[in-house]
Amino acid sequence: MQIDVIPNIGEARTDEFLHKTVIVIDVFRATSTMIAALGNGCTSVVPVETVLQAKDMQKPGDLLGGERFCKKIPGFDLGNSPVEYSPSAVQGKRVILTTTNGTRGIQKAVRGEKVLAGALINGSACAKAAIDFKRDVIILCAGTQDVFSLEDGLCAGLITSEIAGLIGSKQITVNDFGLAMWNCYLHAKDNMLDVLQACANGKRLCKLGFQEDLAYCAKVNILPHVPVLDREQMVLLPF
């Protein structure tokens, strides 16, 4: 299995995704939010790039969720905080979600044979799904405004490590950036929360009062849920 890790959306080329499993990562916070929402009974999450698209797609009963510059969009039902997407808030609802980077990453990856949403909270489950699909894997780190973000790279390293642990390291080939993130994850895994609190996006979330989000997103392998793109919406992969 070939595993290629791409540092940010701007470096992704859509033709690279053909016939491959693509795992899109935006740890802070879009993919973590998708995983939490679907795990708590949301029927589907529709990722869109713009606020106008979200409003145009909304049907009666749908919830609008999203952020710009880390803050909830005015007039929307929910922001981009995974802890907001509780069972009482999202059970039985469809969510139209737009975020600065993560939903753009999903849109960029649509030519993949399978498109999954990954985060630290479901890294092991993502690795198992990728193995089951029996395709080469691209891990797309969303980054921040087309700049690499450490939290996404650490998650890519987690997923790579999990795949290697399941099928054996001799059965995978990893690009140089992926190898770097794998080793970075191994170095940070026993101190994940402290590392994420020290990175640029972690500092920004804390400054804006989202310490609870950061603590939640820093948890590793706590959920079995894997969102997969089904036409225009993310739904739960059966497990």
Q: What is the CATH number of the domain that holds 71?
A: 3.90.1560.10
How would residue 30 be classed by pLDDT, with cut points 50, 70 and 90?
A: very high
Q: Which two tokens stand for residue 233?
A: 């919406």
The answer to the question of residue 145 being in a domain is yes
- Mean pLDDT for the chain? 96
Per-residue pLDDT of 121-171, as tens digits, reads: 999 999 999 999 999 999 999 999 889 999 999 999 999 999 999 999 999
The answer to the question of residue 162 being in a domain is yes
Q: What is the pLDDT of residue 100?
A: 87
Give the percent of the chain with pLDDT over 90: 96
What mean pLDDT is predicted for residues 179-207?
97
* Degrees, nearest 5: CA angle 9-12-13: 145
Residue 115, CB-side half-sphere exposure with 13 Å CA sphere: 27
The answer to the question of residue 200 being in a domain is yes
For residue 221, pLDDT over 90 is answered with yes
> What's the distance, CA 28 to chain centroid?
8
CB 46 within 8 A of CB 231: no
Q: What is the pLDDT of residue 69?
A: 86
Q: What is the pLDDT of residue 185?
A: 98
Q: What is the pLDDT of residue 238?
A: 87
Parent domain of 98: 2-232
Look at the chain and report how many structural domains it folds into. 1
The answer to the question of residue 113 being in a domain is yes
Q: What is the pLDDT of residue 145?
A: 86
What is the DSSP-derived secondary structure letter of residue 82? G
Q: What is the pLDDT of residue 130?
A: 98
How would residue 34 be classed by pLDDT, with cut points 50, 70 and 90?
A: very high
The answer to the question of residue 239 being in a domain is no
Q: What is the pLDDT of residue 153?
A: 98
The answer to the question of residue 202 being in a domain is yes
β-sheet bridge partners, residue 211: none
Q: What is the pLDDT of residue 58?
A: 96
Q: What is the pLDDT of residue 74?
A: 95
For residue 239, pLDDT over 80 is answered with no
DSSP string, 44-71: EEEEESSHHHHHHH--TT-EEEEEETTE
Per-residue pLDDT of 48-107, as tens digits, reads: 999 999 999 999 999 999 999 889 999 999 999 999 999 999 999 999 999 988 999 999
The answer to the question of residue 147 being in a domain is yes
Q: What is the pLDDT of residue 119?
A: 98
Residue 119 CA to residue 125 CA, distance in Å, equals 10
The answer to the question of residue 238 being in a domain is no
